[in-house]
């Protein structure tokens, strides 16, 4: 795939040497607001979350499918169960399949929904599975399944926050997920422990142990501003951490848009003063 002249490409990967059925060539472009451009051969397909497409070549056909298409040969009950599990992870009941029905190469691009980083994972090189935060799936090679991953411990389920219900991506092809802010990858040795804000756990390999622990003393929990619990991540395995969970971003936007917070909306103090001065100028 030829790099763009106006937007820098990041992490261009070629699947030609891998020889897998669920392989695509792709290029991640942009900085704060990224998108992934996928190149398809004739007859090759990619799946994506509904509403994530940015552009496509005319020879790529769009088809709405129930779930991720992995239940195509099964009954309606299995399809409904699979789609219902997807709803719990923040995804919709339907996905869109993009299939190249022309000649030569064709491209389709999928855009991130908010500032952050798009990460590409080759599931075949990770033991066939990845556990990611809910609502992070963006697109994948057709054949990758999108399911649900529950934390098994009761306390983790009650207080684990965003880490309780996560997505599980399975297959042997490329999967593209979107995380908030900057991403840090940590490889944990057996028994190595890392304490993380529950919203900052972006993804991990299935062998990583996920639990919650109390955030210090009662004083720290009440006045520390870091919440009541931490996520305790224990190796061996890999974990990806995000610097800006969407819940934190949404909370800051909401806090600064209220009149009490001094936002510049029509209902704010500054907005009201601006209206007064505008009225003076017009009179």
36-94 residue pLDDT tens? 999 999 999 999 988 899 999 999 999 988 766 665 555 556 666 565 555 655 556 78
- Is 248 part of a structural domain of the chain? no
Structural domain total, the chain: 1
Show the domain range for 158.
9-181
- Is 19 part of a structural domain of the chain? yes
Strands 25-29 and 53-56 come out as unpaired
pLDDT band, very low/low/confident/very high, at 10 (cuts 50, 70, 90): very low
**Helix residue spans in the chain (DSSP H):** 76-88, 154-159, 218-223, 246-257, 269-282
- Is 201 part of a structural domain of the chain? no
Please give the pLDDT value at position 216. 58
Residues 36, 42, 47: CA angle, nearest 5 degrees: 40
Which tokens hold the place of 123?
């599931």
Please give the pLDDT value at position 166. 84
- Is 200 part of a structural domain of the chain? no
pTM comes to 0.74
Considering only CA atoms, give the Rg of the chain: 22
Average pLDDT of span 104-108: 96
Average pLDDT score, the chain = 76
- Is 262 part of a structural domain of the chain? no
Please give the pLDDT value at position 149. 77
Task: State the CATH number of the domain containing residue 21.
Answer: 3.60.160.10
Which tokens hold the place of 173?
């092809």
- Candidates 191, 178, 82, 78; CA nearest to 138 is 178
Judged by average pLDDT, the poorest of 103-117, 123-137, 162-176, 187-201 is 162-176
- Is 236 part of a structural domain of the chain? no
Question: 29 versus 24: which is more confidently predicted?
Answer: 29
- Is 22 part of a structural domain of the chain? yes
- Is 37 part of a structural domain of the chain? yes
């Amino acid at each position: 795939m030829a790099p763009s002249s106006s937007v820098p490409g990041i992490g261009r990967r070629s699947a030609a040497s891998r020889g897998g059925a669920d392989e695509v060539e792709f290029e991640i472009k942009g900085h704060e607001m990224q998108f992934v451009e996928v190149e398809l051969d004739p007859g090759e397909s990619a799946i994506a979350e509904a509403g994530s497409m940015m552009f496509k070549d005319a020879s790529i056909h769009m088809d709405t499918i129930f779930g991720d298409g992995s239940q195509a040969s099964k009954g309606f009950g299995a399809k409904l169960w699979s789609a219902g599990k997807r709803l719990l992870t923040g995804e919709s009941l339907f996905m869109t399949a993009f299939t190249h029905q022309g000649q030569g190469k064709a491209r389709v691009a999928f855009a991130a929904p908010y500032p952050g980083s798009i990460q590409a994972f080759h599931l075949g090189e990770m033991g066939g599975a990845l556990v990611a935060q809910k609502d992070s799936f963006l697109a994948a090679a057709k054949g990758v399944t999108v399911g649900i991953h529950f934390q098994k411990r009761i306390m983790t389920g009650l207080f684990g926050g965003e880490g309780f219900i996560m997505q599980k991506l399975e297959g042997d092809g490329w999967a593209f997920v979107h995380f908030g802010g900057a991403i840090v990858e940590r490889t944990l040795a057996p028994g190595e422990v890392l304490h993380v804000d529950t919203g900052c756990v972006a993804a991990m390999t299935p062998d990583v142990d996920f639990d919650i622990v109390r955030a210090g003393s009662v004083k720290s929990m009440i006045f520390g501003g870091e919440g009541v619990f931490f996520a305790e991540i224990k190796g061996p395995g890999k974990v990806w951490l995000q610097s800006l969970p969407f819940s934190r971003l949404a909370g800051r936007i909401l806090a600064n848009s209220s009149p009490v917070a001094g936002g510049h909306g029509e209902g704010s103090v500054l907005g009201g003063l601006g209206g007064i001065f505008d009225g003076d100028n017009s009179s």
